[in-house]
Amino acid sequence: MFGEQKKKLGPSTRIHLEGSTGMFERYSALIRDAADDMPNIAFFAWNNWLGDLLKEHLQYGCPSMWRNAFYKLAEHYLIRFIRSVGDKQKVESVGEKVRAAFGEVFDENPWIEKSTRKFLKKKLEAMPEYIGYNDNALDFEMANQMAEMLPIPDEMSPIEQVMFLSRAFWIKENLDIGDKVDSTILVNAHNVGGRHIVIPQGILKAPFFDRDWPLETHYAGIGYVIGHEFTHTYDGWEDRGLPAGNPGNDTDEFKERHQCLIDEFGNIVHHSEFYNITVKGDGMRQRRESICDNNGLRTSFRAYRKERLRLFGKNPPKWPGLQKYTNDQLFFISLAQGWCGRISDVKRRSDDWQAQPHPPASVRLNEVMKNFEDFAAAFKCPRDSPMNPPIRCRVWRRIKKH
């Protein structure tokens, strides 16, 4: 339908050469201008006037193809010209140190039976982590091919072209036509069925990561996310592929520890002044995310402490202008900053909170901090205060009472 309007890039064409009129040049310019909002570039302006024009083309399956091509093109530009390739290597290093810290945690839990511990550690060591992007995203020729797949009606401006594609993707998804395409430019770290974790390029930016930020931010930001995703492999003891013949004693122990978090989050109450309603948490629905938050913090902090000692010994550098804070305090402040946000009362309605597997950000943050004794030690929280309770929920080590 747009075949006659396609243009090809010559073999000598490069992205920023003046005079290039190829598709890649036209799209990369728009991508560059919208780089700060990259995760949303393909989805803005869903309800624009171009929607009606697209409906007649859905039967050809074009939107699915366009979406894939546009994402691949955006990935190429984002990675090659906006984000440093070195970011991937740095995050991979953080990920491996968090993985090692998680393995040490298994050894410190005598309630885990020896055969189970061996299996869990082997599974952790073998689990792939896909961080940032596939190497073929840097392939210029492939990017050229993706550009040639995109429709460019000559009468449309560049912004109208992306709006056109955006509307196509939205119609395709909402009519459930074809497969949905994931992309490394989206902000959505996840664990795929306990087999591997994915940390896409879109999340490797503020507030989770910046290669020039201090060590504390790397482990409190993306390190915490990686620890959280690793833990999803073990967030359900009986349904995550334990070896056949497991006696079950450690399964019962896991459930007991798990129940502590279920009860804790199930008893959280939030009052909305706007709606004048009281909302109670759903500890059972949010149990897996609670486990992963709990252990994500512990493993990332452990990995941070070891790396700090390796790099700086016992005298780590202070942050300019923030010398009154210790490095441990700055770790927790960095973590809190990453989950800082604005939320309306509409989002706090009971049907929203109780239907989500994740508790609200403020609840997630406060609960995971109060269950971590190193937080109380860093800020010298008084005994039996809200952030230094007498009993803490912790799955991977003994529940202690001070």
Q: Which of 286, 314, 307, 135 minimizes the C-alpha distance to 223?
A: 307
In a domain, 118, yes or no: no
Q: Determine the pLDDT at residue 34.
A: 45
Query: What burial letters (b/e) apply to 183-209, b meaning 16+ CB within 10 Å?
Result: bbbbeebebeebeebbbbbbbbbebbb
Range of the domain at 293: 206-379
Pair 358, 227 in one domain: yes
Domain boundary among 174, 195, 228: 174
How many Å apart are CA 109 and CA 298, to the nearest integer?
Answer: 14
| pLDDT for the residue 17 | 24
Residue 353 CA to residue 279 CA, distance in Å, equals 8
Give the amino acid at 175: L
199 conformational bin, left if phi > 0, alpha if psi -120 to 50, beta if neither: beta
Residues 146, 284, single domain; the answer is no
Q: What is the pLDDT of residue 386?
A: 92
Indicate if 158 and 274 belong to the same structural domain: no
| Per-residue model confidence (pLDDT) at position 59 | 41
Q: Is 90 left (phi over 0), alpha (psi -120 to 50) or beta?
A: alpha
The pair of three-digit structure tokens given for residue 51, joined into one six-digit string: 């929607």
Q: Do 297 and 156 share a domain, yes or no?
A: no
Rounded distance, CA 189 to CA 175, Å?
Answer: 26
Tens-digit pLDDT string for the chain (402 aa): 223 333 332 222 222 222 223 444 444 454 444 444 433 433 333 333 334 444 444 444 454 555 555 556 556 555 555 455 568 788 889 999 999 999 998 888 888 888 888 888 888 888 877 776 656 555 556 555 655 555 555 565 555 555 555 554 444 444 333 333 344 444 456 665 667 787 776 677 778 888 889 999 999 999 999 999 998 888 765 555 454 445 456 777 788 888 888 898 888 877 666 556 677 778 888 888 888 999 999 999 999 999 999 999 999 999 999 999 999 999 999 999 888 776 655 555 544 566 677 777 778 889 999 999 999 999 999 999 999 999 898 886 544 444
For residues 165 and 217, state if they share a domain: no
Q: Are 168 and 210 found together in one domain? A: no
Residues 246 and 349 both lie in one domain: yes
Residue of 368, 352, 357 whose CA lies nearest to 286: 357
Q: Is residue 394 part of a domain?
A: no
Residues 169 and 309 in one domain: no
Same domain for 168 and 257?
no
Same domain, 294 and 367: yes
Tell me if 192 is assigned to some domain.
no
Do 241 and 150 reside in the same domain of the chain?
no
User: Looking at the domain assignment, is residue 396 inside a domain?
Assistant: no
Paired with 385 in beta bridges are 388
21 shares a domain with 76: yes
Q: Could you write out the DSSP letters of every residue in 288-326?
A: HHHHHHHHHHHHHHHHHHHHHHHHHTT-PPPPTT-TTS-
At 331 the pLDDT is 98
Instruction: Give the count of domains, the chain.
Output: 2
